[in-house]
Every structure is written in structure tokens, then in C-alpha cells.
Structure 1
Amino acid sequence: MRTKLILFLTILFCNTALSLKGQGYNIDVTINGWSDTTLILGHYFNKKMLVNDTIIIDSAGKGTFKGNEPLPGGIYLMYMPDQKYFDVLIDDEQHFSIEVEKSNPVETLEVKGNKQEKAFNEYQKYLAKQQKKAQSLQSNIKDKAETHKDSVEIWKNQLSGLSSEMKSYWDNILKEYNGKFLASFIKGIKEVEVPDFKETPALPDSVVRWKRYEFYKEHYFDNIDLTDDRMLRTPYFSNKLETFLTKTIFQIPDSIVKESEKLIEKARENKDMEKYLIQFAFNTVNESKVMGMDAAMVSLAEKYYLSGYADWVDEEFLTKLEERVTKLKPNLIGNKAPDLKLISPNNEHYRLNEVYGKLTILVFWEPDCGHCKKEIPKLKEEIWDKYSDQGVKIFAVYTQHEKEKWTDFIEEHQLEEWINVWDPYNQSNFRNLYDIYSTPAIFVINEEKNIIAKRIGAEQLPGFIDYYLKKNN
């Protein structure tokens, strides 16, 4: 009976120990060369390092990161007082130990109790060696191309060989760690291989290039599982996403919206990834300097935020966003220009929709604005003087209420031939219709009274006008 009881207690203790080991995280760290100082554990996220834990390592350079809840999987980094750091892979094995030398943590790192992290560190060491070899070969090709012409081809072949070796190394990891985060991480680094669409009489070069581009765009994320939120905590995911949205896709609002929606749909099974993609796509178009990208912002805002789908945002954000969308929608590129009925210095009434010309330059300005003092004379010299006889009109709206300052500026800069107007009684609502929060603000309106350009600089207008007139003539 006593033997059975001891056996039962032994089994119970073992099971409890295993259970406790599976809970939370416990990472013993030894950094030889540091003592009595702070060590930070953080993870990569959106081009930043977010801190997870901080410890004080003792006089022997030892310390332990520990917590009751497991760390989300991803690539973490341990940040030392001298701003050196080294990366650590965190997945399902979260009870392990590492030891490094302060002088060279990556090369000296030793891991116990975490097979994936050990393999990840070996990969980092291998990568550093390959990069060093590649840099040496690239330097030779660049600096000795004239003096060692016979060697250049050899160096190029060696460089190609390094690339093949790297791919082979990746393939071995993918095979050995299939189903593990290390394999997902390595696979995500790999570029999509584009088929060699060969040029033929039936398939000219322009079509081949287009087919390659379309394939690359459609398969850009083939190597990344968009339902795996561990990818958010890697050093490359946000850069890859940014490159796709700002450089791979044509910078046209409809294209950006279409591809963003497809991406977000792929992540629907993982709410953290879906949330991140919605926020990233929205912020990308909202901060874009590309003319007309506000149309993409409005579209994504209405689909994901103002519809109530993004249930993580607060009411204050939604209220401000709704106000912003309301101001942007009337003056998006492609829309009919909202009509304005305004008054000239001589109290004559003019309507924007009754201005007849191949192009109408609608400019909102004020004489006290420092930027206007430069841009308005440019409009006179570069646009009016050169294009007025080609059917280009200027409808200039004074945004303030000091008439004498306005008329003095018109006279001083000889702007009398423009359609100069203002709104002394605040009846036109021009600020909301055209989202006028700063001056100058320049819009270009075509003969059909559609907005075809907005918030464009005076120095950009000649090229735009030349292209438009040539195309339409």
C-alpha cells in the first residue's frame, strides 16, 4: 500500500511539474561581461520594438525573464545597456536558458532547452558569414572590374553560388521544422518565384512584362500565412506590407482599395492580423502624399470604420473620422466640382459652373499667407501668362474678409484679368465643400466641371496642363 502511495505521489508531482513548465515563460539569461544592470526583453512590431519585460541582471551577469502567461510567438530581442541587442525566437518552448558574451552576443549565443531558438541562432550565424562573403565579392566586382577583368565573371559566379547555398539552407529548415514558427519565419523571407514568361511573336515584350508583374502582385504573399499573427512580431513583415501597398501596386485609389480588401479578407480567420491589416492599409492611404489618395481613405473608412466593423475604435475617433470623410467626399478627384456663387470686388456675382474654358484653375488664397505670396505670382507668370489664350481660366477665391488687403494685392500683382471673388457673408460654404483648412489650395477642373487634380503645387501645374491639353487635343 505504501509503495502504491509513493508511486501515486511521484506521478502526481511529475504531472504537476510538467503542467507548470508548460505555463507562462521562464528564460534564464547569462550575459558574460555585464553585471548589476538592466536587460530588456521586447518584440518586433510595425518597425518598432515593444517592451515585454525588464530585469536586473546580478553581479554574475545572470537574470530570469518570467511571467505567468505565455509570450505570443514571434521574434524577440534582448536589448543591452550599450544598445547592442540580439534576436531570440519565441514559440511553444518558453522555458529555456541562453548564455552570451557581451562583446559579440550573436556569435557566442548558446541555447539550452529550446530547439527552435538554437536552430534560429545557427541560422543567424550562417547568414552573417554568407553576408560577409557576399560583401567581399560585391566589393571586388565594383572596385576591381577594370584591373581584374578576368576575375569578374568568377566573382559573379561565386556570388550566385552563395545565393544557391542560402536557398538550400532555407529548404533544409523548411523540411526539418515544418509546422513550426521557424519554418514560417524562413518561408516568409523568401521572394515569390515568377515564371519565365518568354517573349514570342504572339507574346511581345510588353505583354511578358505585364504578365510577370501581375503574377508577382497576385502571389506576393504566397509565402506568408496571413492567418498567423506571429508574423506581426517579425522584423520584416511591416516592411514587406509597406512595399506592397506603396511600391508594388499602381498608386491609384481603386487599385489600393481592391488589393487592401483582398489582403484583409485573407486574414479574416485571425482577428489580430485582420485588425492590423485594416489599420495599416488605412494609415498608409491616409498619410499618402499621392494626389487623390484621399478617395482610398474615404473608401476604407466607410467599409471598415464607419460601418461599425472595426469595433475596437472609440467613439471620439469615429466622430472625427466621420467629420473628415464628410468634408472630403464632395471634392474627391473625378467628382463634379461643387458649384460656388461668389462676389467680385465690384459686387458682381460669378458662378464656378458658369466659367467656360478647357480648364479652370480654382485657387483658394489670402494675401497674408506666406506661401500664397510665392504661389499666386507663380500662377500669374507660369499659368495665366502662358495658357490663358489656350482656354485656361483662373477662378481665385479670397478666403478672408479684409477687402482692401485683397484688392491691393490684386492690383500690385496685376491679377485683374482673373475671376477674383470672395464670400463676405459666408453663404457659399466653400470651406466645407472644398475642405479648405489651409491656403493656398489649388484644384483643376475640366470642361465637364469634374475635378481632375487637387492640392497641386503651382510648379507642377505646367506639366499637368501640357499633358492634359495634348491628350485632349
Structure 2
Amino acid sequence: DSYFDILIDKDQEFSISNNTENLSENFICKGSSDNELLAEYQLFALKIRKKIREIEESKPIIGEEKTFIKSDSLNLIIREKRKEMIAQNPTTFFSVLLLAMSEPDVPDAILQISESASFQYYKQHYFDNISFSDPRLLRSPIVFNKINHFFNYLCEWHPDTVVKYALQLCEKSQTNPEFFQFVFNHLFSSFEKSGKLTHDEAFVVLAEKYCLTGKTPWFSPEAIPMIKERITQVKPTLTGQPAPNIELSDSSGKSIDLKKPLGTWTVLFFWDPECEHCRDLYYKLSVLANDPEMSQLKIISIYTGKNNTLWKNFIADKSTPFVHTIITPGKEKLVEKWDLYMTPRIFVLDNKLRIAFKDPDPENLKEMLFGM
């Protein structure tokens, strides 16, 4: 270990000692009940986790099932230790931290219904143990990590679902202004285009509900017009919206009619062969286009660059079964509605030419559309 943690609350007069040979095992504190409890818990958990590692290392001998059962029983011991320490020290900040780290216990009655019901319960109650009225938690990584874990691994990446849980989290956090500011800023910055959880629908809902109604007073006056502009850019391509009008031509100059669907699903692939990531997606999409089970999927590649000779040479060389197009000369302004802040971009349209998915991984597209 190269570092160790201490808790600093209102009581800041205490002593600590440690040994660099093993910072986790040798941490001792006197004069701070929070840190004395922390040292006790860390040492207990460290010993259990060593046993878990030993069991994991013996997996080739005892088998996967026994490894899981033994490891799970030891993890249960850690969870029970947390509950015991919280019950015995309910007024300490350490207990607030331990409780926030705890995951929801699914009642036996729910467990017996189905795995799906258990997961739904777990998801619904994932943030129950966080005290949203206690901003001291914000000085630990717990809240930050839990929010990221929830939206990365537990929340279905569907607009209605993401928006629902984002709003729920914002409402929960309004018990404390500092907590709300932290939660809102984290979600808002994550959902915008440069964030790690880019999600236009959630971004727009949060912006309109909070930023444009004066509920985020920490934002500078200059930020609000920029947010309004971003909303305007994003709205035409929100999921469920009819695809914005665009006029396209193929390599011979023939007009391509996008006013009626070409298949059950239509993929619009905005790209430039001079972009390495674009080429990667081009090849992945070409695998789909050549899949006989994907005959109801039509892919329209839309060149966004300026070098038409390079583009024609590229598509002639690859002979991929896309409908290869460019934006019809003189109609470039129409593309502004598509929010092409970067290339490549992929839009999947349904049979009514509504936007169904944005920027999906082509390798997952077959299962997303046809469940194959």
C-alpha cells in the first residue's frame, strides 16, 4: 500500500501512527472514535479479503462452484461486520460512511419471486443507504462511485429509464443544497456531449427542469445561454423524434429519397474515410451489411468530408453493400439539424423513420434490433 485513509470531522485533535511496511495493518489512532473504528474495520476486512484471495487462487483445485460459495460466505461476514458496527455506533460519521457503502438487502419474499424481481428491487433501493442530508459524504469517493456504478451497470440505457433515475436522484439530493449541487453537476456534466455517460435526452430534461428555471444558482449568467444553445442543437435528434430532413446524392449524383424507409431499420452513418475511428466503424458495419440475417437493415453511409475523389476511390475499392451518399451540394445547411459535433456518428431509424438509437456499437446492433 502506498497510502492510507483517515477521517477528519469536527474533532480534529487526535494522534495516528503507522508503519510503511504495511500501512493497512499497522494503522493506529487514539483520540478519534471515527478513526479507531476505521482502523478496526480495515484490519478485519483485510484479513477476510486475504482469505478470499487464497480461495480464488485455489479455484483450479476446488472448482468454480465451491470457490463462489466460499467467497460469498466470507463476503457475507464482512457485510455482517458492517451492520454490527453501524448498530453499535449509530451516531458516528464512520457509521454514516459504512451505511453509504452498504448495498440494499433484497427481502426473502422478493428473492423467491424471480431473479428479475430481485434485480428490480435492488435497483430501486440502491441509494437508500446514502444520507443525502449529510454533505460530509461528498468528501469521500462513495457517492461519486455509486452514481457511476448505477448508470454504467444497473440502469437500462433507455432514455425514459435514464431520465427517470436521474430525476429521482436529483430529488433525493435536494434535502441539502451542497449535496444537490454535487449530484446535479456530476449527472449534468456526465450526460453532456463530452461526458463519460453521454445521453442527450437526460441532458435536455435536466437542463430544462433545473438550469432554465433558476434552480442551479451556482451556474454563471454566461452559462445559461450556452446551455440553451446546446438544447437547440440536441433536440432535433432526440430518441423518438422523426429524423430531420436531409438531402443526399449517390456517387453518380442521383438523388436518394429518405422520405420513405428503405428497410425495417435504416442506419445513417456519417463518416469520413480520413478518420481512423470512422474506418473502424465502417468495417464493423460492413460485417452487418453482409450478414444474410440482417437483410431488413439498410445502411446509408454519408460522407461528410470535402475530398470527393478520395471518397469515391475508397468506396470503389471496398465494394461494401452500403448506399453510399454525400450531402447534396447546396443543401449542406440541412445537416446542422443532425448535431454532427464529431464524426463518426450513427443514427438508427425505425420503419417510420423515427430515431431509435444513436451511436450504438455496431457489434451489438444485431442483438439490439433483432434479438439474435
Classify the TM-score, shorter chain.
Answer: 0.7 to 0.9
Cα contact 2:247–2:334 (8 A) shared by 1 = no
Which residue is equivalent to 1:424? 329
- Show the counterpart of 1:300: 206
Q: Identify the residue that residue 166 of structure 2 maps to in structure 1.
A: 260
- In 2, the alpha carbon distance for the partners of 1:198 and 1:355 equals 44
Is the CA contact (8 Å cut-off) linking 1:372 and 1:439 kept in structure 2?
Answer: yes
CA contact (8 A) 2:264 2:297 kept: yes
Flag the 1:322–1:122 CA change in 2: closer, same or farther, 3 A: same
CA deviations 1:189-241 (Å, max 9, x no partner) are 33322111278xxxxx7x52232222212222222211111112234332222
Q: Deviations over 1:304-327 (max 9, x none)?
A: 334432221234544444333322
The equivalent position to 1:323 in structure 2, one of 229, 233, 236, is 229
How far apart, in 1, do the equivalents of 2:110 and 2:289 lie? Answer: 47
Q: 2:133 aligns with which of 190, 204, 227?
A: 227
Q: Give the letter aligned to residue 172 of structure 2.
A: K
Shift of 1:424: 2.1
Task: Report the alpha carbon displacement of residue 163 of structure 1 after superposing the two structures with TM.
Answer: 4.0
Tell me the distance in 1 between the aligned counterparts of 2:73 and 2:279: 57
Q: 1:213 to 1:159 in 2, by over 3 A?
A: closer
What does residue 62 of structure 2 align with?
A: 145
Distance 1:112 1:295 in 2: 51
User: How many equivalent residue pairs?
Assistant: 369
Alignment check: 8 A CA contact 2:272 2:304 kept: yes
Aligned twin of 2:177: 271
What residue identity is the alignment partner of 2:154?
Answer: T
Q: Which structure's residues are more often strand, by fraction?
A: 1
Larger helix percent: 2
Report the equivalent of 1:238. 144
Q: Which residue of 2 aligns with 1:218?
A: 124
Query: Would the alpha carbon gap of residues 113 and 249 (structure 1) be closer, same or farther in structure 2, given more than 3 Å must change?
Result: same
Corresponding position of 2:104: 192
What is the DSSP-based 3-state SS (H/G/I as helix, E as strand, rest coil) of the residue aligned with 1:197? helix
CA shift, 1:276, in A, is 1.2
Give the distance between the partners of 1:377 and 1:126, measured in 2 at CA. 52
- Aligned partner (choices 118, 122, 128) of residue 40 of structure 2: 122
1:384–1:318 distance in 2 versus 1, CA, 3 Å: farther
Q: Conserved in 2, the CA contact under 8 Å of 1:342 and 1:421?
A: yes
Identity of aligned residues (%): 29
- 1:399 shift after superposition: 2.6
State whether structure 2 residue 6 is matched by structure 1 residue 84.
no
Q: In structure 2, do the counterparts of structure 1 residues 366 and 208 end up closer, same or farther at CA, with 3 Å as the change threshold? A: closer
**Are 2:106 and 2:118, in contact at CA under 8 Å, matched by a contact in 1?**
yes
Gaps of 5+ in 1: 1-82, 147-151, 200-204
Structure 2 Cα separation of the partners of residues 319 and 352 of structure 1: 34
Cα offset for 1:245?
Answer: 2.1
Change (3 A) 1:180 1:337: same
Larger radius of gyration: 1
**Closer, same or farther: CA 115–313 of 1 in aligned 2, 3 Å:** same
Structure 2 SS opposite 1:191: coil
Say whether the 8 Å CA contact 1:99–1:111 is kept in structure 2: yes
Q: Quick one: which of 95, 99, 117 aligns to 2:13?
A: 95
Q: What aligned pairs does 1:174-193 form with structure 2 within 5 A after superposition?
A: 174-193=86-105
Aligned equivalent of 2:345: 441
Q: Contact between 1:111 and 1:117, CA under 8 Å: does it hold in 2? A: yes
For residues 126 and 434 of structure 1, do their structure 2 counterparts lie closer, same or farther at Cα, with a shift above 3 Å needed?
same
CA distance in 1, matches of 2:274, 2:103: 53
Q: Counterpart amino acid of 1:251?
A: W
Alignment TM-score, normalising by the size of structure 1 = 0.65
Structure 1 counterpart of 2:152, which letter? T
TM alignment of 1:32-181, pairs within 5 A: 84-136=2-54, 138-139=55-56, 142=59, 144-145=61-62, 160=73, 163-164=76-77, 166=78, 169-181=81-93
Residues 1:406 and 1:84: Cα distance change in structure 2 (over 3 Å): closer
Deviation at 1:113, TM superposition (A): 2.9
Unaligned runs of 5+ in 2: none
* RMSD across aligned positions (CA): 3.9
Look up the SS of the partner of 1:352 in the other structure.
Answer: coil
